[in-house]
Each structure stands twice: as structure tokens, then as C-alpha cells.
Structure 1
Amino acid sequence: MDLLGWLIFLFALMFSVMLHETGHFVAAKKFGMKATRYFVGFGPTIWSTHRGETEYGIKALPLGGFVKIVGMTSMDDVDPADEPRSFRQAPGWQRIIVLVAGSFMHFVLAFGLIFCLALGIGIENDNTTQLGLVAACVPPNESALVNGAACTSSDPRSPASIAGLRVGDTITSFDGVKVSSWAQLADVIKDAKPGSRVTLTVDRDGRPVTLHTTLAGVTGRTGGYLGIAATTVFQSASPLGAIEYAGTGFGQVLVGSARALAELPAAIPDLFSKNRASTAAGNVSSVVGAAEATGQAVAADVGWQYKVSFVLLLIASLNIFVGALNLLPLHPMDGGHVAVVIYERVRAWLARLRGRPDPGLVDMRKLVPLTFSIFMILVFFSMILILADIVNPVNIG
């Protein structure tokens, strides 16, 4: 099952890459630009075919993909016959659309996945009084409770077990107080004193059942202890609710991605620490870490809804992050090319105001040192993250 999770993630990754390149390709074709190659992967070609003026194919290393559009920069050699259809000869607004089309496809895929999740599988709701766990014993102290320590022969039975509560029961009343959310139920249990006798009303398979028990206490923890935990239910959203959920989720992932990216330099020392998961370094990961998390989720002993929900949200988050990263105004990413086009158009506008001719395209040879430096920085961070995910992975639990 763990291997199946890896395969699912790798397929999703390659599909996302293909979608990204398809965005560039379709936009370029729409504006009449000449695209000569559309490939998945890098390295030696293992298969290709020609359709019209474009060669489609698969490379040996499935680490990305690319679309070759004629005349992307001033450094490209272009056949004079193809120059009118080159990327660099197109109006600035068309070039910008072609450049951002890849990230746009990532965003569409992510929004669509979150929308379908909310509409089809449902939105997780763990603020219910339906029980997902009935503890067998009373933990000896708060540390054992928090860490989920196993019961020993000396541990007394939990009040929930003595009462006869079952997984799937929905508590509707606690000692005469009606409850409809886990927050309400947790508050009334915490306010009750250990040793007090309480009456519980539960909904069991559609019929009310009344149960009785005596609350216990846990050393180091205030309030009563019953020995229960809520389950997570999936509630299908309406189409409008799914749109709202997708929009909110998209925004949260975008903000979280920006925060994680900003914290990455400072988080590097913690990538290899024992407590990585509890630091900022636990919020950043490479494709290896994401694939491992997918494998863990698929292999976990939980319901299919949890698995599908986790995998879809992970894939959506990855696409949002990659789409946003590509739009950063740093060469050689798409956003860097957009910045160059905008600079060219602003420079041309200023030249017109002064009655001077259009200065033309930016000499990309001057940007080669900067482009190479940024590329090496990206490679460095990628390698560090991959190494950390191999030797010090974060367990998603």
C-alpha cells in the first residue's frame, strides 16, 4: 500500500507537469506562435512522434517537462521564415498570457480538486459528539494521556467503558445538559469533578439509550475524565458551499506556502534535528517527503474517505505551491520571464514619451550570471530538502 501511495503521487506529479506545459502550449498555439516540441521528462528521448509542426515525446528522466516555443528570448537563433511567429515578436500581453498559463493550469487543477472533494466526499467535521474512540482504561497521568500510552493491567477501566459507550454512539446529553458539538461536550466534562456520578444520553443506531457512570481523574489534569474521542464525519457541501470551501482552502494554502517559503532559510538547521516536526522545518518538504506522506496516508489503517481526502488535498497544495513559485519574478522561472516582458514594455513606453525608438528586446546574455545563480540556489534548497526527507523524514501520524 505504501508503494501504491508513491505511484499515485508520481502519477499526479507527472500529470501536473503535463498540465503546466499544456497551458503554455495551448496559449502559444492560440496566438499563432510556433511550438516545435512538447515533451514530458528530460534526458534521452525514449519515444516521440510528429504531429504537424510539433514533435511530441517522452524523455528518460521523469523530472519535469518542457515546451519549445520558437524565439523565446533574444539569444535564440530563429529561421527568418519563422521569425514572424516567434514568441519574441508577439505583443507583450500575449507573451505574458503564455508565460502565466502554466501556473494558471496548476491553480485550476488545485481549485477543481478541492471543489470535487467538498462536493463528492465531503468536508471533514470533527466537532461532533459522535464517538470515534472509547478508551479501555484511565491513563496514570497527563503525559500518558497525551502520548496515547497503552493500557497496563494495573490501570482501572475507563468510565466510558464501564458505562458501555460504543464507537459510533452520538452523545446528545451529558448529565442533563444537551450537547451538539465536541467543544460543548468537552467543556461540560472538564467542568465536572472526578468521582461524580453522571448520566449520559446517546443516540445509538437511531434510538436513544441512557447510560450511567462515574467520572475518573487523571494526575496532572484538571476536571473529569470520561475516556472518549470524537470521530470525524464527512459532510457533503452544496455547489455554492463547495466553491466557498475551495476558495478558502486555496487562500489558506497560498498563505501557508508563502510563509513556509519565507521561513525556509532559517529552518535549514532544524531539518536534521530530532524535533523537526515541531519546528518550522516540519512545514517544508521536497517531492520525496510529499511522496512518502502519500504512501503513509494510503497505507494507514483509516477509512477510504480519510485517504482520498488527504491525497487530494496534498496534490492540490503541491499544485498551488508550484504555481505560485513559478510566478516569482526570478529568472529562470516563468515569473522572471514575465518581469522581463514588463520591463521591455515599460522601457518602450518611456522611449515613446521621449520621442525615441523602441529599445527592443532585453539582452538576455546580461542576465545569464543572475539566472545561473538563482538556479543554483534552487538546486541547493531542493537537495537539502530531499536529503532531510530521506534521513530525517516527518511522520504524518
Structure 2
Amino acid sequence: MSYIIGVVLFALGICVSVALHEAGHMVTAKAFGMKVRRYFVGFGPTVFSWRRGETEYGLKWIPLGGFCDIAGMTALDEVTPDEAPRAMWRFKTWKRTVVMSAGSVTHFILGFVVLYLMAVTMGLPNLTPAPAVLSATSCAQSITTEAQAKEQAKNPTCAPGALTPAKTAGLQPGDKVLSVGGKPIASWDEMLTTVQATSGPTAFEVQRGEQRLTLTVDVPKVQRWTGEGVKEVGMIGASPQDAAKTIQYGPVAAVGATFGFTGTMFAETAQRLVEFPQRIPAVVTAIFGGERDPNTPVSVVGASRLGGEAVEHGIWILFFFLLASLNFFIGVFNLLPLLPLDGGHIAVVWYERVRDWIRAKRGKAAGGPVDYTRLSGITMVLVLIGGAVTLLTVTADIVNPIRIGQ
């Protein structure tokens, strides 16, 4: 039952986000004096509607998104004589840009608000790399199969006679590794990478309380299972000190922390978009029985399923983090300069502006509005591609979904 509640809550959060996206268009359009004919939440048959002033508001039966009907969004749209003076395409470029980008800005604001509320209540995920501090020493032994790796993770015991390089060299729990073989170390991951590329007697500089010591560790090479197969790596037999998974902030400090975290999420979102095309083949593979890569794209269905699992496991921080992430992704994606996205309309508007500026410099009159019918072929291709990608991700999220802990 908790899983179903989580799915419903996440889907509801998405619907509210999209409804507010359209509300962003409506509010800014009205503020500039454009005529907004209709604002509806959902699609399909109308459940109910009412008119206030010149705008009809209402709810549709299918609660997936919504729409805001602004008169004269392009010069090709039909408008009545009384609407013509307030048609959107007649307004200045910067005003039209504000209106068309307002939906994405709304997503960014929603994502920021969710993260801020997380910061002052449950805390934000700690993105600081774990320090190179030992919590315990163990052994260095070969693990050559995936089954052995899973068993070792559940029961980290050492085989009889296994090597204990870190313990033998005198490393102790609480020691902070400062350098390995003369290379400065800033985090546990950095130390791990350095050690794996090392073998034989190696100098470890460590901080132990007020002391700074140099210990020599004889690093052996062992066979270790990775997701890509078995590799020979250096290993010293040590585990890291657990770092705080989340950091909670006060109301004032949370503002700066949220801005910083938001910047990180924007960078990750941009990276995901760049990698998006190359991850599609992995989605197809997952549909036909291959292992689902957790880094492959997910649809609204997949995101809702993950939200449901987060609630089922009581991981509310993951639930809200997913909701914020999805808002940032939708906001950035919608600004891509591709029709029929808002970013595509913005690109056309600024093309007209730059073109007319160049024509004015050459002593020519301004050109007419862009003929969107000439772009219909490209738009149709993009719509078909978008529909195909959506179908693939939805199918994968049904037959081979990404799960928490995968």
C-alpha cells in the first residue's frame, strides 16, 4: 500500500509541476497585456470550467499536463479582430521571451523550493567526497566472481592466511591518509584509485592525532571483480570512515547551501542531456532482457515507480530529491532550441530579432514573421523522435524498471 501511495504522490507532484508550468506562461502573459483565452489542467474531455474575465479556466479528465492558450502565439495563428492588437507575436522580443521561458523558470523555482525545504528539515545529500580516513583494517584477497563480490559485501570476512598490508604496515583506524607514494590525497576515492595503480613497497603519509607519520605499505596485486569483469589491482585492506549522508542547515544557511546544490544539479542535468542519445541503445537492450543500466533515461512512469519505492522503504529524502531533479530536467529540456519546445519558439523569436537588426544595418526594412509552415517538416520529425524515445523509456520502465539499490 505504501508503494502505491508513493507512486500516486509522485505522479501528483508531476501533475502539479506541469500545471504550474502553464500557470507561469499565463501569469506573465497577462502581466504584459497579452490575451489568454484558456488555462486548463489536464487533457481530454472537460470535467468542469468557469470563466473569469476574458479567460476560461478548467479541469480535464486526463490529469497529464495542461495548456495555456495565448492569442497569436505566432503570426500564423488565427485571431479575432478584437484579439489582434494584443496578439502575442506583436509584443517586444524580450516580453515574448519572458512569457515562453516562464514555464521552465517555474520548474526551477519549484526545484529550488523543494531542495530548500529538504535543507532545513531532513537535510541535503552530502556531495563532499568522503575523506581518506580509515575506519578499520582488513585483508587484501582476490574476488573473481560477482557472487563472491556480493557475499563479501554481506559478510566481509577474511579467508585464512589472507594478506593484511595496511595492518601489517602499522596503519590504524582513525588515520587520515595525506599522500600515497608522494602523491597528495584529498579523498577516499582518490586514495583508492592511486592504490589500485600501485604495487610493492609504497610510502603512506598519514595524520594520526597531532602526529604526521610515514609508513611503508607493501601493496600486493589481487584479482578483483568489477562490473566489467576481473581486473588486477593494488589493495591494502582498509575500509573508509562513514561520512554524513545528509547535512541539515538552518533557515539562513540553507539559502546558500540550496543555491550551491542547485548549481551542481544543473551541471549534472546538462551532462545527462549530452549523454542522452548514447544511452538509448542501452534502453533497447533492457527491453529485450538485458541488464538495466541505472544511468539510462527513465520516463514519468519510471520516475513514479522509483518515487513509490522510496516511500515504501521510508526514504523520503530520495522521494523529494527525485521530484526536484525531475523539475530541473524538465525545465532545462524545455529550453532546448527545438520546436515544438518553448526553447524552439524562443530561438525563432530571437532569429527574427537578429535578422531584422542586420537588415536595419543594411538599410532594409524588417522582414516578416517566420513562416512556421516551413518548419513543420522538422517539427514533425522531432515530434516522432520524441514520441519514439518516450515509448521506449515507458516500455523499459514497465518490463525492466530501475529499482532502488540497483
Q: How do 1:139-288 and structure 2 match up within 5 A?
A: 142=143, 146-148=149-151, 223=236, 230=242, 232=244, 234-239=246-251, 241-271=253-283, 272-273=285-286, 274-277=290-293, 282-288=295-301
Shift of 1:389: 1.4
Q: How do 1:293-312 and structure 2 match up within 5 A?
A: 293-300=306-313, 304=314, 307-312=315-320
Could you tell me how far apart the structure 2 residues matched to 1:175 and 1:94 are? 64
Could you tell me how far apart the structure 2 residues matched to 1:176 and 1:225 are? 9
Q: Which moved more, 1:54-63 or 1:140-149?
A: 140-149
Residue of structure 1 in register with 2:208 after alignment: none
Aligned residues: 345
Residue of structure 1 in register with 2:345 after alignment: 337
| 1:395 aligned onto 2:403 | yes
Gaps of 5+ in 1: 157-173, 188-218
Q: Which amino acid aligns with 2:59?
A: I
Shift of 1:63: 2.1
| 1:52 aligned onto 2:60 | no
Q: Which amino acid aligns with 1:40?
A: V
Q: Which moved more, 1:360-369 or 1:70-79?
A: 360-369
Could you tell me how far apart the structure 1 residues matched to 2:351 and 2:390 are? 29
Shift of 1:232: 4.6
Secondary structure of the 1:99 match is: helix
Query: Any conservation in 2 of the 1:74–1:361 contact (CA below 8 Å)?
Result: yes
Q: Which moved more, 1:248-257 or 1:35-44?
A: 248-257
Could you tell me how far apart the structure 2 residues matched to 1:51 and 1:380 are? 39
Could you tell me how far apart the structure 2 residues matched to 1:141 and 1:50 are? 72
Q: Deviations over 1:119-169 (max 9, x none)?
A: 22223459599xxxx9xxx9x9756674256669xx99xxxxxxxxxxxxx
Could you tell me how far apart the structure 2 residues matched to 1:234 and 1:71 are? 48
- Taking only the aligned residue pairs, the percentage that are identical comes to 38
Could you tell me how far apart the structure 1 residues matched to 2:245 and 2:277 are? 38
Shift of 1:72: 0.8
Q: Deviations over 1:2-45 (max 9, x none)?
A: 11111111111011001101110000000011101001111221
Q: Which amino acid aligns with 2:329?
A: F
Could you tell me how far apart the structure 1 residues matched to 2:379 and 2:88 are? 20
Could you tell me how far apart the structure 2 residues matched to 1:251 and 1:309 are? 19
Q: Which amino acid aligns with 1:309?
A: I
Q: Which moved more, 1:367-376 or 1:66-75?
A: 367-376
**Structure 1-normalised TM-score?**
0.74
Shift of 1:253: 2.4
Could you tell me how far apart the structure 1 residues matched to 2:104 and 2:385 are? 21
